[in-house]
């Protein structure tokens, strides 16, 4: 049975917020630290591990109980960029409307509890967008040059998959053309691959194996190898019916060590100053950790959303972005029913981001753009 397109777009948008909020309370904790403090996070109604810290030590931010982070804020900014242009976009659009959304459009910032611009909330690699496109007036396609290589672009590109629903290659291409204004190397590659995964998830009767196939069809270099290695390991564990989280996390982290050697050591400490490292630098051999981990858990639990997302975020490290990646794929495949009404209402109430309204507008825009693409394809058919 064909699922409603608008409902699946809603699943992507709500999934972004849900995965983000679910993982936000434990972001940067290791698997063992999460086990010790929480046992296991199973829903979005938990306190942040920093909630009792003095305000200055948590940068005057608050998380927990449904509050989202920059992953969702930047996704909303990207949705608004599509609503502005009503077409496919590229890095020139990043340097104009997307930057405007980040830097000049005030909105409620949930972690602050008041209105501000998104730029005030961003991590340095995402603030870099403003530095490159506005302060340095870069050639837009070169905006990502010199940036820290991370998952910062991949975490918000799901709307590009929506705008290219059913066409993974086109989603990959557009994500690369857009996100090159922000990221480079394997950080950029991950953005392209995740957009392809979301686009593939909209195809009728798609299953997790189809999502993996779509990812591998477009992925390059270390990103492709990391996904291949993770899928092999996840498939082995599933076939042997090994679901013990201690075993799974150890196995998955061993796989990722080849492609993302930071491990649990993700803090930027004073004692690291001046020490040479290849962490977060361009490489054809490396991959971000978040996307292979998300796909690994989806393979392990064969697309069971709740199992996959809960176990994935409890594996530790960049938990909110891992949660987002699991959730947007499942949202596109299974629709908004993956998020309970109670959780939807909480996400809307505490974040004030008009998630449902943004999703409805994105779906309407995507229908128009995809219909235009189909018309152009039919026109091209006449030349054969």
Does the pLDDT of residue 1 top 60, yes or no?
no
Other C-beta atoms closer than 10 Å to the C-beta of 31 total 21
Q: Write the burial class of residue 101 (CB in 10 Å: 0-12 exposed, 13-18 middle, 19+ buried).
A: buried
Looking at the chain, the whole-number percentage of residues with pLDDT higher than 90 is 95
CA distance 49 to 63: 9
Residue 23 DSSP class = H
> Helix crossing, 290-300 with 305-313: angle to 10°?
140
Q: Write the burial class of residue 5 (CB in 10 Å: 0-12 exposed, 13-18 middle, 19+ buried).
A: middle
Tens of pLDDT, residue by residue over 328-338, are 999 999 999 99
Find the mean pLDDT for residues 116-137.
Answer: 98
Residue 149 DSSP class = P
Query: How high is the mean pLDDT of the chain?
Result: 97
Write out the two tokens for 337.
């029913």
Other C-beta atoms closer than 10 Å to the C-beta of 303 total 18
Tens of pLDDT, residue by residue over 26-78, are 999 999 999 999 999 999 999 999 999 999 999 999 999 999 999 999 999 99
The dihedrals phi and psi of 45, each to the nearest 5 degrees, come to -100, 65
The verdict on pTM exceeding 0.95 is yes
DSSP output for 312-347: HHTT-SSHHHHHHHHHHHHHHHH-GGGS-HHHHHHH
Residue 92 DSSP class = H
CA distance 153 to 123: 12
Task: Specify whether the CB–CB gap between 313 and 23 falls below 8 A.
Answer: yes
The dihedrals phi and psi of 288, each to the nearest 5 degrees, come to -65, 160
pLDDT of residue 269: 82
Conformation bin of residue 221: beta by default, left when phi > 0, alpha when psi is -120 to 50: left
pLDDT of residue 164: 98
Kindly indicate the confidence band of residue 272, based on its pLDDT and cuts at 50, 70 and 90. confident
Kindly indicate the confidence band of residue 265, based on its pLDDT and cuts at 50, 70 and 90. confident
CA torsion, points 121, 276, 266, 280, in degrees to nearest 10? 60
CA distance 281 to 88: 29
Which residues make Cβ contacts (< 8 Å) with residue 242, sequence separation at least 6? 248
């Amino acid at each position: 049975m064909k699922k409603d397109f608008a409902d699946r777009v809603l699943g992507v948008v709500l999934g972004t917020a849900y995965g983000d909020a679910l993982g936000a309370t434990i972001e940067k904790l290791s698997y063992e630290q999460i086990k010790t403090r929480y046992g296991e996070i199973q829903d979005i109604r938990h306190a942040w591990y920093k909630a009792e810290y003095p305000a200055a030590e948590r940068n005057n931010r608050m998380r927990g109980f449904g509050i989202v982070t920059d992953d969702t804020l930047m996704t909303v900014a990207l949705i608004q960029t599509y609503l502005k242009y009503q077409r496919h976009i590229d890095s020139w659009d990043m340097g104009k409307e997307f930057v405007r959304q980040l830097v000049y459009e005030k909105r409620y910032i949930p972690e602050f509890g008041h209105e501000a611009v998104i730029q005030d909330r961003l991590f340095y690699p995402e603030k870099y967008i403003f530095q490159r496109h506005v302060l340095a007036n870069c050639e837009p396609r070169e905006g990502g040059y010199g940036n820290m290589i991370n998952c910062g672009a991949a975490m918000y590109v799901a709307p590009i998959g929506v705008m290219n629903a059913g066409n993974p290659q086109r989603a990959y291409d557009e994500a690369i053309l857009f996100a090159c204004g922000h990221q480079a190397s394997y950080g950029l590659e991950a953005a392209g691959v995740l957009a392809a995964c979301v686009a593939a998830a909209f195809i009728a009767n798609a299953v997790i194996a189809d999502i993996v196939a779509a990812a591998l069809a477009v992925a390059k270099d270390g990103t492709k190898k990391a996904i291949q290695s993770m899928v092999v390991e996840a498939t082995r564990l599933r076939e042997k019916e090994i679901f013990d989280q201690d075993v799974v996390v150890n196995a998955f982290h061993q796989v990722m060590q080849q492609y993302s050697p930071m491990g649990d050591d993700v803090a930027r400490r004073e004692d690291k100053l001046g020490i040479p490292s290849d962490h977060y630098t361009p490489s054809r051999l490396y991959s971000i950790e978040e996307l292979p981990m998300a796909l690994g858990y989806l393979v392990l639990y064969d697309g069971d959303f709740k199992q996959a997302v809960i176990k994935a975020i409890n594996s530790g490290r960049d938990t909110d972005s891992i949660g987002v990646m699991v959730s947007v794929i499942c949202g596109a495949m299974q629709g908004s029913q993956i998020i309970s009404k109670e959780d939807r209402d909480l996400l809307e109430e505490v974040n004030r981001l008009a998630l449902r309204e943004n999703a409805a507008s994105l779906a309407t825009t995507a229908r128009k753009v995809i219909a235009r693409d189909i018309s152009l394809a039919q026109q091209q058919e006449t030349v054969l």
